[in-house]
Amino acid sequence: MCQLLGLNCATPTDATFSFTGFRERGGNTDHHADGWGIAFFEGKGLRLFLDHESAAQSPMAQFLQAYPLKSRNIVAHVRKATVGEVALENAHPFVRELWGRQWVFAHNGDLKDYEPKLHSHFRPVGTTDSERAFCWLMQELHKSHAGLPSVRELTATLRELIPQVTRFGNFNFLLSNGEALWAHCSTNLHWLVRQHPFALATLKDCDWTVDFATMNQPGDRAAVIVTTPLTSNEQWTAFQPNELKVFVDGLPLE
């Protein structure tokens, strides 16, 4: 199985602290060593980094720790291959264009015998069940709306579409278009919001503690979504099975 990391922020924020702990799970503290990727939205633009090597040993991952990029929406993934060979085209996150926006998707889980009917516009490049599911979601969103709908409308449509995928297996995923971050849990996903008054945080996967009060302003805020909690001294909330949450400006949208 794979692991997911997402950040949705009120102001542009770097993922250095979270990514440092998360990266260790790509081959050091866990066995997700079959590729990794991370996507940073910058307005309508997108910086995407992918590698079929393990995140723990990747020079590119090391570079990103030394050269932090700031974004309001970040999606990262470390892979344990189940469906599809270890190859660059099978590394998450995957990206597609819809309604003049970039969409980013990363998945954790197995979908058995999942072969949805796909039209010509959204087709997988690699061989994973994850990319097929992403293409199908994009196809059905396109069919459901003539143009870019509101975040709430998109959330309502996703709630209708997701059960058509989950009947094939586990469908933990992160999805973002740079405006919001959607997170769906089939089995295992956790979240928290870091905001004023900021406090200390200590990573589980390596020896690093930071005082966010010295690094942030009162208006800063970040929602962090991850498969299993990254820190040992913060209060993480577990998603319920089959729960879909959407985050905007660093907060869950009710």
Q: Which residues are catalytic?
A: 2
Separation of alpha carbons 59 and 36, rounded Å: 12
**Residue 70 and residue 116 in contact, taking contact as beta carbons nearer than 8 Å:** no
Separation of alpha carbons 28 and 127, rounded Å: 26
What is the DSSP secondary-structure string of 102-139?
A: EEEEEEES-BTT------SSS--SS--HHHHHHHHHHH
Q: Which residue, among 47, 6, 78, 45, has the nearest Cα to 247 in the 3D structure?
A: 6
Structure tokens at 131: 């990319």
Separation of alpha carbons 7 and 183, rounded Å: 11
Residue 208 per-residue DSSP state: -
Separation of alpha carbons 10 and 57, rounded Å: 32
Distance of CA 227 to the CA centre of its chain: 10
First to last CA, the chain: 30
Separation of alpha carbons 35 and 127, rounded Å: 14
